[in-house]
């Protein structure tokens, strides 16, 4: 079977200049100084090195690792927000990135209007969102407030709404960055049930999390990142052990 | 703004221009279209940083949407101008039909400049301030509150390089003087506008891949 996501030799470099110039004014001065013989120095920082893996349809992948090990960078590259310096990631299917909930929410619009806005940001047509309006409202549990302005909802409710829209976009691949921690226990359970349903439907979930238990529950395979390098890739139980071993060792 | 300028120039300074409001209004509206349009889209990428760093979509949509919003706003302003012209007996004439043509010419120019400014603004944050000052200078370098006939002959070639000068002149000829704008009046802003679109879009697509990192 063809993989649904394929990362081929992905590298990502960030430049950390020793002197940061963010204005044109500073730049003009800087160019004059460089012409006068001063060296421009910056440090290269490889956030990702030689990442190579592929995901089969229906498989779910966890991405674990220490803070700053490149997990989010990898997720953003898969979501096409960032471009790799070298190599490439190919995704065959529709992706719903849930890197942050409620991107594009506007406090002064009503709940329904916000669902339309967020739905189109997630890549749905207006008519498609309208068709899914009822399930979205039902899942979020804020049906009663459909005509209320978003700012009058509690922040937890807003997050639930965002999550519900993202879930109803019905993508082939879910990219989730620590988003499951929103909502009360009841809602978390609802989300977990929904994800189980997705897995049954052979959809792919990519989960970045420090909650190792959650990763073990959902993902067959896991990528372990350590300082931008792929320290491990394989069955989740094995890689989680490896990670815990690393953590203890250091 | 219109009321203040009309009062200052027609009553206090006695500039001696008949129907000063019709002389001023089209030019002023065209300038507002330009200055609000460019400064709105200048901030369109940076102002939507949360979107740019969290979701992927073609970034030029942001520039386009701010320009469309501005086009709607300005069209409404121009729509208010028409009844005034009719009331003063200066419209409708065949030349009134040039108004939408000139607005489209101006839109092309604005979109071109927007691509350039919005993408550069991600890398150089002071473009915003620089552009503010450029706009203020532009307001006086464009015949909005005065007539271009005041400009000395020898500065005229340089003065008419300003595409907004041509646009304002065309509008004024069509709506105020009731004469046909020359071919240069219309073609020069179009050419400059298309040039800006070409250069602007190239710069934009070159810088676009790293927006999410730099922002």
The token pair that represents A171 in the structure block = 């993508």
C-alpha of B32 from chain center: 6
Higher confidence at residue B15 or residue B1? B1
Task: Please report residues of B whose CB lies closer than 8 A to that of A100.
Answer: 50, 54
pLDDT higher for A40 or A68?
A: A68
- Any A CB within 8 A of B4 CB: no
pLDDT at B106: 96
In this predicted model, what pLDDT tens digit does every residue of B165-201 receive, in sequence order?
999 999 999 988 888 999 988 999 999 999 999 999 9
Q: What is the pLDDT of residue A181?
A: 65
Interface test with A, best of B54, B133, B208, B210 (most A CBs within 10 A): B54
| Residue B44: band (very low, low, confident or very high) from pLDDT cuts 50, 70, 90 | very high
Report if pTM > 0.90. no
Q: Residue B56 is nearest to which of A22, A79, A100, comparing CB atoms?
A: A79
Could you give the angle at which helices B183-207 and B163-172 cross, rounded to 10 degrees?
140
Q: Is residue B89 part of a domain?
A: yes
pLDDT, mean of residues A128-135: 89
Q: What local confidence, expressed as pLDDT, does residue B11 receive?
A: 67
Count of domains forming chain B: 1
Q: Is the pLDDT of residue A35 over 70?
A: no
Closest by CA position to A50, among listed A13, A92, A17, A91: A13
Task: Choose among B156, B128, B130: nearest CA to B143.
Answer: B156
Report pLDDT digits (tens) over A200-226. 888 888 988 888 888 888 888 999 998
Mean pLDDT of chain A: 84
The mean-pLDDT minimum among A39-43, A120-124, B185-189 falls in A39-43
Chain B stretch 127-146, residues whose beta carbon is closer than 8 A to a beta carbon of chain A? 127, 130
Helix or strand holding residue A173 (H, E)? strand A173-177
Residue B169 lies in a domain: yes
Express each pLDDT in B74-99 by its tens digit: 999 898 888 888 888 877 888 888 99
Within a domain: residue B48? yes
| Dihedral (Cα; A68, A69, A73, A78), 10-degree rounding | -150
Report the range out of A19-23, A88-92, A192-196, B62-66 with the highest average pLDDT: B62-66
Residue A222 corresponds to which tokens in the numbers above?
Answer: 């896991």
**Stretch 83-122 of chain B: residues touching chain A, C-beta under 8 Å:** 120
A20: pLDDT strictly greater than 90: no
CA distance A233 to chain B (A): 26
pLDDT at B130: 94
Looking at the complex, report in whole angstroms how far the Cα of residue A83 sits from the nearest Cα belonging to chain B.
6
Residue A123 has a pLDDT of 81
How close is the nearest chain A Cα to the Cα of B58, in Å? 10
Chain B residues closer than 8 Å to A123 by CB: 57
Q: Let me know if A237 is exposed, middle or buried by CB neighbors in 10 A (0-12, 13-18, 19+).
A: exposed
Looking at the complex, does the CB of residue B57 fall below 8 Å from at least one CB of chain A?
yes
Strand A42-55 versus strand A95-98 pairing type: unpaired
Q: For an interface test with B, which of A16, A20, A22, A105 has the most B Cβ atoms less than 10 Å from its Cβ?
A: A22
Residue that has been written with the tokens 């602007």 in this structure: B200
Residues A160-208: pLDDT tens digits?
888 888 888 888 888 888 766 666 788 888 888 888 888 888 888 898 8
Judging contacts by C-beta atoms under 8 Å, the chain B residues touching residue A27 are: 124
The shortest C-alpha distance from B143 to chain A (Å) reads: 30
CB pairs under 8 A between A and B: 47
* Residues B124, A80: C-beta atoms closer than 8 Å: no
In a 3-state reduction of DSSP, which class is residue A13? strand
Both tokens of B149, joined, read 């006939």
DSSP state of B57: -
Q: What local confidence, expressed as pLDDT, does residue A183 receive?
A: 67
B58 touching A (Cβ < 8 Å): no
The model's confidence at residue B36, banded by pLDDT at 50, 70 and 90, is very high
What's the confidence (pLDDT) of residue A141?
A: 85
- Which residues in chain A are contacts of B46 at CB distance < 8 A? none
Tell me whether residue B99 is in a domain. yes
Q: Which domains does chain A have, with CATH numbers?
A: 5-249 (3.40.50.300)
Handedness of CA A71, A74, A79, A84 (dihedral sign): positive
Query: What is the CB-side half-sphere exposure of residue A110 using CA atoms within 13 A?
Result: 9
Q: Count the Cβ atoms, other than its own, within 10 Å of residue A78.
A: 23
Using CA atoms, how far residue B179 sits from A54, A92, B22, B170, in Å, is: 68, 60, 15, 9
Is residue B6 over pLDDT 80? no
**Residue scoring higher pLDDT (B21 or A228):** A228
Q: Give, for B183, the enclosing helix (H) or strand (E).
A: helix B183-207
Looking at chain A, which residue has its C-alpha nearest residue B131? Answer: A24
Model pLDDT, residue B15 = 60
User: Nearest-CA residue of chain A relative to B50?
Assistant: A103
Among the residue ranges A18-32, A213-227, B127-141, the one predicted with the least confidence is A18-32
> Do the strands A86-91 and A95-98 form a parallel or antiparallel pair, or are they unpaired?
unpaired
Contact residues of A toward B, CB < 8 A:
14, 22-25, 27, 76, 79-83, 97, 99-100, 103-104, 121-123
Which conformational region is residue B171 in: left (phi greater than 0), alpha (psi within -120 to 50 degrees), or beta? Answer: alpha
In this predicted structure, what is the pLDDT of residue B10? Answer: 65
Q: Is residue B11 part of a domain?
A: no
Do A97 and B55 count as a contact with CB atoms less than 8 A apart?
Answer: yes
Residue B5 located in a structural domain = no
Question: Which residue of chain B is at minimal alpha-carbon distance from A78?
Answer: B56
Domain housing B198: 22-214
Rounded CA separation B130/B117 (Å) = 11
**pLDDT value for A38:** 61
Residue B210 has pLDDT above 70, yes or no: yes
CA Rg value for chain A = 21
């Amino acid at each position: 079977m063809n993989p649904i996501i394929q990362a081929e030799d992905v590298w990502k470099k960030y430049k950390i200049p020793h002197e940061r110039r963010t204005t044109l004014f500073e730049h003009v001065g800087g160019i004059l100084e460089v012409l006068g013989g001063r060296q421009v120095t910056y440090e290269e920082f490889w956030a990702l090195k030689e990442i190579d893996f592929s995901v089969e349809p229906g498989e779910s992948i966890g991405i674990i690792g220490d803070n700053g090990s490149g997990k989010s960078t990898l997720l953003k590259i898969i979501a096409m927000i960032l471009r790799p310096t070298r190599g490439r990631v190919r995704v065959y299917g529709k992706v719903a990135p849930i890197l942050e909930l409620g991107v594009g929410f506007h406090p002064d619009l009503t709940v329904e209007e916000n669902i339309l806005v967020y739905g189109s940001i997630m890549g749905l047509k207006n008519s498609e969102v309208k068709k899914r309006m009822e399930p979205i409202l039902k899942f979020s549990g804020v049906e009663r407030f459909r005509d209320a302005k978003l700012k009058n909802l509690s922040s937890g409710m807003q997050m639930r709404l965002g999550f519900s829209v993202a879930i109803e976009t019905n993508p082939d691949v879910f990219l989730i960055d620590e988003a499951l921690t929103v909502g009360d226990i009841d809602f978390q359970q609802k989300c977990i049930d929904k994800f189980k349903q997705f897995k049954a439907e052979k959809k792919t979930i990519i989960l970045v999390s420090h909650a190792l238990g959650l990763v073990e529950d959902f993902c067959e395979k896991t990528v372990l990142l350590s300082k931008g390098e792929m320290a491990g890739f394989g069955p989740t139980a094995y890689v989680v052990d490896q990670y815990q071993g690393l953590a203890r060792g250091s | 703004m219109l009321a203040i300028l009309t009062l200052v120039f027609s009553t206090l300074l006695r500039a001696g221009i008949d129907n000063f409001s019709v002389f001023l209004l089209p030019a002023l509206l065209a300038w507002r279209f330009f200055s609000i349009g460019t400064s709105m889209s200048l901030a369109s990428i940076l102002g939507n940083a949360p979107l740019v760093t969290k979701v992927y979509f073609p970034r030029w949509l942001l520039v386009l949407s701010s320009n469309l919003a501005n086009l709607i706003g300005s069209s409404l302003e121009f729509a208010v101008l028409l009844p005034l012209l009719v009331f003063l007996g200066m419209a409708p004439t065949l030349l009134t039909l040039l108004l939408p043509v000139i607005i489209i010419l101006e839109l092309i120019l604005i979109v071109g400049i927007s691509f350039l400014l919005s993408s550069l603004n991600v890398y150089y944050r002071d473009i915003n301030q620089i552009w503010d000052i450029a706009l203020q200078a532009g307001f006086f370098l464009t015949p909005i509150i005065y007539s271009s006939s005041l400009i000395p002959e020898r500065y005229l070639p340089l003065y008419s390089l300003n595409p907004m000068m041509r646009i304002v002149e065309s509008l004024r000829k069509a709506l105020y003087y009731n004469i046909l704008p020359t071919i240069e009046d219309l073609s020069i802003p179009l050419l400059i506008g298309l040039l800006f679109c070409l250069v602007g879009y190239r710069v934009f697509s070159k810088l676009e891949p790293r927006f999410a990192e730099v922002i």
